[in-house]
Structure formats: C-alpha cells, structure tokens
Structure 1
C-alpha cells in the first residue's frame, strides 16, 4: 500500500500546487460578492477573491478518479468499473453543484476544477504504470530563477 499512498499524495500535490498557482494568478470574485443581501464585510473578505478554480471540486475529482483508476488497474476484467467511474463522476459533479449553490463558484470554476482534478487522478497512476516513462518520453523539472514553473520535455 505504500506505493499507492505515495502515488495518491503525488496526485493530490499536483492538484494542490495547480490550485494554489491559479489562486495567485487570478483575482476572480466569488458569485456571492455580487449579492447585495450579504453584508459588505463578508463580501469583501479575503476569501472573496479566489473563485477560479474550485479547489473543493478539484480535490474530490482527484481522490475519486485516482481511486477509480487504481481500482480498474487491479480489477481490469470487472464489470464494476463503470459503477466506480460513475461514482467518481457523480461525487465530482455534486461537489461542484453544491459549491455553486453556496455562491462560492461560477460554472466555469467547477468545470475547470473537475477537469484539473480528474486529469491528475487519472494520469498520475497511468504515467507511473508506463515502464518507459522514466527512461524516455516525458520529463518534468521545476524551474526557478526570474520565473518559477515547470519545464516539460519529451524525448522521442
């Protein structure tokens, strides 16, 4: 279970870093800030400017799609895979729905959060399953200096 735990932590970390970076780059107001019935102090609080993208939706998507993907890897012939993936999708959609109903996010926020999270949850296990991943192909390196980010390179 150690390998799965480390893969899960990697997927969640990728989602978390992507979310944190997005929050630093965007100052999108949450939908509730446009509601005149909410007190001004609440509408102008620090958390009112981090609508894009939905971190809750992204983290639920990462967790559930990681579970679905790894379960599918261990049970490739099971007829239950569609139930597992359906559950992952349902949990993600419901999280996004309730975040929008609470006035925390616009539809685009939860769609992007769902995409970021599901991609992280699906791709991390798949890339590590590929035996050639570390030998040839994609390499990802952090870059620091005048700019901060990731360097992606693909060898053919």
Structure 2
C-alpha cells in the first residue's frame, strides 16, 4: 500500500512537469471579449474603414462644439436656453465620472495587451499618449451623453435617429481602432446615457421657468356701442 502511494505521488509530480502546448489552441479559447474585439478589429476594406475613420474624426468637433452651438443657436433664435444648460451640465458630469473610473480601474489599452492589435487612432500612435487607460471609453460616453441630452430636449425622429446612430457607431469605431474593448464601450454608453437622462430629469428649469409659470394675460376686446 505504501509503495502504491509513493508510485502515485511520483506520477503526479512527473505530470506537473510536463509543459502544456498552447500554440495550437482554437481561437474560441480566448476570452470572449477578445474574440469580439478581434472580429471587429479585423473587419477591413473601404466600406468599413471609411465610415469608421469619418465617425472617429467627428468626435472632438462634436464633443467641444455641441454645447456652444446649442447656446448660440438658442440665443439667436430667442428659444429656451435650458436644453443648452442641460447639455453643458451633463457633459461635465459625464467627463468627471468617466475619468474618475479610468484612473480607478487603470485598464491597459487593447493595443498594449492583445497580440496582433495596433492602434489605428493617431492619438495613440507614439510614446506620449494623453489617456493610456481603456475602461471606460471616454469617446463613447461623450457621444452618448450628447445624443441622450439632445434627444430628450428635442424628441423628434430627425434628431433622435441620427444622434443614436452616430453614438452607436462611435462605440464600434473605438473597438475597430484598437483602442477599446467591447466592455469599455458598453460601460461608456451606459455612463453617457445615465448622465444625460439624470441631468435632464433632475435639473430644475432655469431659463424657461418664468415663461412657463407666467399665466397668459386675458385680452379684452372693447366694442364701441
């Protein structure tokens, strides 16, 4: 019995020293998120690359221009300024929450951690990167906070549909550019949507309050007899 026990221990010890071949594993043994990342990243050709690059290029002009444009347009048209105020506050809240999570989680970018993935975004090509953290996606959260805030303030199909499509494509293009994982995009979309909706429903009306509260003055028509 003692000899059998010693034999089993020797076999187990020898088995632990045998290396496992991981060079020929099928692709689906990777984490599911990396598989999705590769599927999106590997999609190439003009029909994919052109819209992905166009949407990605539109990011900063829209991010920094949406609120000023809404302020200016509302002032020039003498319309309610509350939508512009809500968008400004929502963007600020979204920015603070997104970058707080980035510095808390500190997740490396895919082009750093995943073999075969490089950054297609010029802002991530080089040694000096402004934001090296992947989770959550700041581009996506910013796109969704704008889309949500504007859509709730102007609930027309010609506002809601383009805003939703643009925000959704922004999330996809960040994965295609190799700078974000799918979960970065999903959480970024959630943060932007919640920020935009929360500010819209919780922020009291400021500029339109008196206009809405003031009762209409009765008009008297005097007919001479």
| TM-score, normalised by the number of residues in structure 1 | 0.66
Instruction: Say if 1:30 and 1:48, in contact at 8 Å, map to a contact too.
Output: no
The change in CA–CA distance for 1:4 and 1:56 in structure 2 (over 3 A counts) is same
1:127 counterpart residue number: 202
1:68 equivalent among 151, 167, 176: 151
Q: CA RMSD in A?
A: 2.7
Equivalent of 1:50, from 127, 133, 142?
133
Residue of structure 1 equivalent to 2:91: 12
How far residue 48 of structure 1 moved from its aligned partner, in angstroms, is 6.9
**Partners of 2:83 and 2:150 within 8 A in 1:** no
Equivalent residue number for residue 137 of structure 1: none
Task: Give 1 or 2: higher strand fraction.
Answer: 1
Unaligned runs of 5+ in 2: 1-79, 120-124, 206-225
- Secondary structure in structure 2 of the residue aligned to 1:51: coil
Structure showing greater radius of gyration is: 2
Alpha-carbon shift at residue 12 of structure 1 (Å): 0.3
Structure-2 change in CA distance of 1:9 and 1:37 (3 Å): closer
State TM-score, norm by structure 2: 0.47
Against the structure 1 CA distance between its residues 37 and 124, is the aligned structure 2 distance closer, same or farther, given a 3 Å change threshold? closer
Q: For 1:7-156, what aligned pairs fall within 5 Å after superposition? A: 7-33=86-112, 34-35=114-115, 46=129, 49-72=132-155, 80-81=156-157, 83-128=158-203
Deviation at 1:35, TM superposition (A): 3.5
Runs of 5+ in structure 1 lacking a partner?
A: 73-79, 131-156
| Equivalent residues of 1:55, 1:113 under 8 A apart | yes
Shift of 1:38: 5.2
- 2:213 is aligned to none
